[in-house]
Amino acid sequence: MTALHVILFGMFGLAVGSFLNVCIYRLPRRESVNWPASHCTACNRPLGWYENVPLVSWLALRGRCRTCQQPISPMYPIVEAITGVVFLTAYEMYGLSPLLAVRIAFACAMIVLFAIDLRHRILPNVITVPGIVVGFAAALWLPPGWQSSLIGLAVGGGVLFVIGEVYYRTRGVEGMGMGDVKMLAMIGAFLGWPLMLLTLILASFSGAIFGVAMIVSGRGGAKAALPFGTFLAVGALVSAAAGQPIVDWYLGFYR
């Protein structure tokens, strides 16, 4: 990959990240993602192109709207930067290939679900349900292959569904939403069952550690904990980027 390729592909990633921000803001509000053009969420003034440049505009405006002076969330440049890094990492891993497009689409969905679950505590069906279908369809031709994809989506959805049911029957409160069930099914469909299980393990451990840290630091009890979909998204991105050696080692170890 030449330096020019890196710069161009990274900039493409930043631009896509900018579009993901639109999805993150509008999908939970059931607004169209392509109309109207970007506007300040506080004063509704439409943004000029120079206020819409990924990363650069937020930094140049010092995180405030030019007219109403309301702060612009740092979530916007963070999502753009993460998307840029995801594009470069995926390019490095897969080269220009069909799998690159599939894995980038998957990663973008995870970034959107991460942010929406964090802010609104929902995981929109409009992402997870088509995600299950697209992930399985891609696996008919591409890694992880349709068997691993099918087992991944069935077990991924099934495990969380059962955990949720048991939790509900024994504690009488909803512990696991159907959104989490569909999201892990989607992760299984795209990554296959071994990386799906690794995602679940990573998400559960990091969620538990984070929850204990919140309680110990006195910032609230279990209710204040972050939504599980947020941890699933991070676990899925880590598994997709770095999980295969761990899975190979584990499966080889016990063969």
We find the least distance from the C-beta atom of residue 39 to Zn ion, in angstroms, to be 8
* End-to-end Cα separation, the chain, in angstroms: 37
**Would you say 107 and 239 are in contact if contact means Cβ atoms under 8 Å apart?**
no
- When the beta carbons of 43 and 133 are compared against Zn ion, the nearer one is 43
**Would you say 135 and 126 are in contact if contact means Cβ atoms under 8 Å apart?**
no
| 43 is a contact residue toward Zn ion (CB under 5 A) | yes
We find the least distance from the C-beta atom of residue 131 to Zn ion, in angstroms, to be 33
We find the least distance from the C-beta atom of residue 28 to Zn ion, in angstroms, to be 20
We find the least distance from the C-beta atom of residue 51 to Zn ion, in angstroms, to be 10
Mapped onto helix, strand or coil, the DSSP state of residue 86 is: helix
- When the beta carbons of 68 and 224 are compared against Zn ion, the nearer one is 68
| 40 is a contact residue toward Zn ion (CB under 5 A) | yes
> Using CA atoms, how far apart are residues 228 and 123, in angstroms rounded to an integer?
10
Dihedral angle of Cα 196, 126, 86, 5, to the nearest 10 degrees: 130
Q: How many residues does the chain have?
A: 255
| 42 is a contact residue toward Zn ion (CB under 5 A) | yes
Give the CA diameter of the chain.
64
Give the binding range for Zn ion (CB under 5 A) out of 14-22, 26-34, 59-67, 246-254.
59-67
We find the least distance from the C-beta atom of residue 83 to Zn ion, in angstroms, to be 24
| 236 is a contact residue toward Zn ion (CB under 5 A) | no
Give the binding range for Zn ion (CB under 5 A) out of 19-27, 35-43, 132-140, 153-161.
35-43
| 68 is a contact residue toward Zn ion (CB under 5 A) | yes
Mapped onto helix, strand or coil, the DSSP state of residue 70 is: coil
| 133 is a contact residue toward Zn ion (CB under 5 A) | no
Report CA 196 to chain centroid distance, whole Å: 14
* Helix, strand, coil in percent for the chain, rounding step 5: 75, 0, 25
| 65 is a contact residue toward Zn ion (CB under 5 A) | yes
We find the least distance from the C-beta atom of residue 66 to Zn ion, in angstroms, to be 7
Give the binding range for Zn ion (CB under 5 A) out of 62-70, 85-93, 111-119, 120-128.
62-70
**Would you say 168 and 174 are in contact if contact means Cβ atoms under 8 Å apart?**
yes
β-strand partners of 71: 64
| 242 is a contact residue toward Zn ion (CB under 5 A) | no
Number of residues that bind Zn ion (CB under 5 A): 5
Q: Which residues bind Zn ion (CB under 5 A)?
A: 40, 42-43, 65, 68
